[in-house]
């Protein structure tokens, strides 16, 4: 297969990450989780400053911030910040509560975009996020916009929590998803948009395997 860049965007809970990982493993691509980078910066700022405040400024000392991500053969991603493995820490609820200010910041976004582009110079990749097809790789070989109804996405999140042994209120999850959609779509820079040349896939009535197979077909087609 020739070298390909695949951008997968969509709202929270649309299945981007799970699907992209499986496609990457099956087709031998490198998977990059761009959301994990925003989460890592949030973790770093929280640890350094104790909180993320609305007047947050992304200062020069960020040059000392070294974020790395490794994709393992079994589909897992390891993300580290200055040598500390934060892969699990960045999934904490406190990160989700504070990430809005970080991911709205244009300097943060520019920093992340430089990093993401650098990582993909010489290899075939599939990267998921919100602005991958619109901002990070506007010339991607393939752009996919994954979507699903709020109800279906909330149901998937509930299942993830239940699998982790956590009990959560479905209405609260739904509310959080609607809030995140708003935040992702209203962001002044790097907002979640469906690129005009993206393939739209509504996964509401599809199984995960059906989505994976569909995307693999699309990737194989452009990689010929």
DSSP 5-56: EEEEE--TTSSHHHHHHHHHHHHTPEEEEHHHHHHHHHHHHHHHHSS--TT-
Residue of 27, 35, 141, 150 interacting with ligand DC (CB under 6 A): 35
Residue of 4, 8, 52, 131 interacting with ligand DC (CB under 6 A): 131
Q: How many residues belong to the chain?
A: 224
In the beta sheet, which residues pair with residue 162? none
Q: In degrees rounded to 5, what are phi and psi of residue 203?
A: -95, 5
Instruction: For residue 130, state whether it binds ligand DC (rule: CB under 6 A).
Output: yes
Instruction: For residue 99, state whether it binds ligand DC (rule: CB under 6 A).
Output: yes
Burial class (CB in 10 A: 0-12, 13-18, 19+), 67: middle
Tokens of 72: 């393992």
Rounded distance, CA 23 to CA 10, Å? Answer: 16
Q: How far is the CB of 202 from ligand DC (least distance, A)?
A: 19
CB atoms within 10 A of CB 61: 8
| Pairing mode, strands 30-33 and 125-129 | parallel
Q: How far is the CB of 224 from ligand DC (least distance, A)?
A: 28
Instruction: For residue 147, state whether it binds ligand DC (rule: CB under 6 A).
Output: no
Determine the 3-state secondary structure of 132 from DSSP.
Answer: helix
Closer residue to ligand DC in complex, CB, 147/184: 184
Closer residue to ligand DC in complex, CB, 135/206: 135
Q: For the chain, first and last CA: distance in Å?
A: 6
Residue of 7, 10, 29, 38 interacting with ligand DC (CB under 6 A): 38
Taking CB under 6 A as the binding criterion, the range among 19-27, 130-138, 147-155, 195-203 that sits at the site for ligand DC is 130-138
Place of tokens 């995960």: 208
> What character string, x for contact with ligand DC (CB under 6 A) and - otherwise, covers 53-92?
----------------------------------------
Instruction: For residue 12, state whether it binds ligand DC (rule: CB under 6 A).
Output: yes
Closer residue to ligand DC in complex, CB, 80/223: 80
Q: Which of residues 166-205 bind ligand DC (CB under 6 A)?
A: 180, 184, 190
Residues forming the site for ligand DC (CB under 6 A)? 12, 34-35, 38-39, 99, 103, 129-132, 180, 184, 190
């Amino acid at each position: 297969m020739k070298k390909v860049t695949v951008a997968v965007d969509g709202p929270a809970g649309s299945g981007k990450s799970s699907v992209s990982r499986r496609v990457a493993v099956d087709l031998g691509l490198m998977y990059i989780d761009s959301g994990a980078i925003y989460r890592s910066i949030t973790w770093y700022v929280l640890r350094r400053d104790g909180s993320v405040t609305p007047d947050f400024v992304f200062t020069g000392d960020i040059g000392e911030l070294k974020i790395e991500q490794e994709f393992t053969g079994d589909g897992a991603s390891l993300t580290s910040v200055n040598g500390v493995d934060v892969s699990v820490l960045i999934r904490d609820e406190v990160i989700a509560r504070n990430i809005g200010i970080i991911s709205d910041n244009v300097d943060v976004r520019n920093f992340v975009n430089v990093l993401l582009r650098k990582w993909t110079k010489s290899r075939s990749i599939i990267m998921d996020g919100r602005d991958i097809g619109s901002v990070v790789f506007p010339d991607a070989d393939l752009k996919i916009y994954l979507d699903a109804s709020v109800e279906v996405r909330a149901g998937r999140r509930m299942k993830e929590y239940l699998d982790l042994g956590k009990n959560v209120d479905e209405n609260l999850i739904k509310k959080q998803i609607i809030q995140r959609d708003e935040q992702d779509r209203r962001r002044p820079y790097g907002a979640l948009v469906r690129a005009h040349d993206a393939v739209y896939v509504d996964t509401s009535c599809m199984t995960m395997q059906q989505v994976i197979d569909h995307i693999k077909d699309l990737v194989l087609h452009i990689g010929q």
